[in-house]
Amino acid sequence: MPENAIKKEIKFLEGPHSRLSEFLFTLSVLIEFIRGFRRLHFVGPCVTIFGSARFKEDHRYYKQARAIASEIAKLGFTIMTGGGPGIMEAANRGAKDVGGRSVGCNIILPHEQSRNKYLDKWVDIKYFFVRKSLIIKYSYAFVVMPGGFGTLDEYFEALTLIQTKKISEFPIIVFDTEYHKDIMAHIEKMKVNGTISPADLELCLFTNSVEEAIQHIKLKSINHFGLKNAE
């Protein structure tokens, strides 16, 4: 993102400014949404895979993401990611391995996150909240692979929207129980303390099994929403 654009966004987030500047910012957000809608309109039902940009292709998490994306793509879903390297690249690559469709919503950052080479279609987005809205709009399931702050942000936003019924009850699959064991323990702690309901534990599946993940998607996405393969 150009330096002057970054400064404008930082200035906006500092607090109220002139009505004109806030109106122009609102227009820029609207334009981002319209570009995203136009670019992704025909991508079909997607499954979004979240995960770190930092894992290389020889890492086991990269290999896991590639494998699970291939199996999901075989079901007929388009694989959607943030479009960058690491887990995102692995997932898009896994889709291409089996002739599946692969798309990305790439975030424009000051340090320039580059798009991976396994995308059939992509859109570059300036604002995180626009990007997350687009990812959620087109997805029938979410797979959370090991990642950092951004991955957890995307996971908990999707989970909150499902919990509060702002979006349909799409399945969330959290992959690798060893990596996520502390999150699993904290969610259990929230249940014990009454900050979430016992039923909320059913909103996501923690697993190490690609087969279990695929069966969960078949049940909670394909069967639940009545999805059918194209003739």
Phi-psi region of 187 (alpha: psi -120 to 50; beta: other; left: phi over 0): alpha
Determine the pLDDT at residue 100. 97
Determine the pLDDT at residue 7. 62
Extract the residue ranges of the chain whose pLDDT is less than 50.
Answer: none
CATH of 42-223, one of 3.40.190.10, 3.40.50.450, 3.30.360.10, 2.30.30.280: 3.40.50.450
The first and second tokens of residue 85, run together, are: 């390297």
Determine the pLDDT at residue 152. 97
Determine the pLDDT at residue 18. 79
Angle at alpha carbon of residue 128, lines to 125 and 132, rounded to 5°: 90
- 11-24 confidence digits (pLDDT tens): 666 666 778 888 99
Per domain, the residue ranges of the chain are 42-223
- 25-57 confidence digits (pLDDT tens): 999 999 999 999 999 999 999 999 999 999 999
Determine the pLDDT at residue 119. 97
Determine the pLDDT at residue 108. 84
Please name the residue that has the structure tokens 């798309």.
103
d(CA 128, CA 153): 10
The answer, as to whether pTM is greater than 0.85, is: yes
Q: Please say whether the dihedral angle defined by the alpha carbons of residues 7, 9, 14 and 15, taken in this order, is positive or negative.
A: positive
Q: How many CB atoms lie within 10 A of CB 83?
A: 27
d(CA 19, CA 10): 17
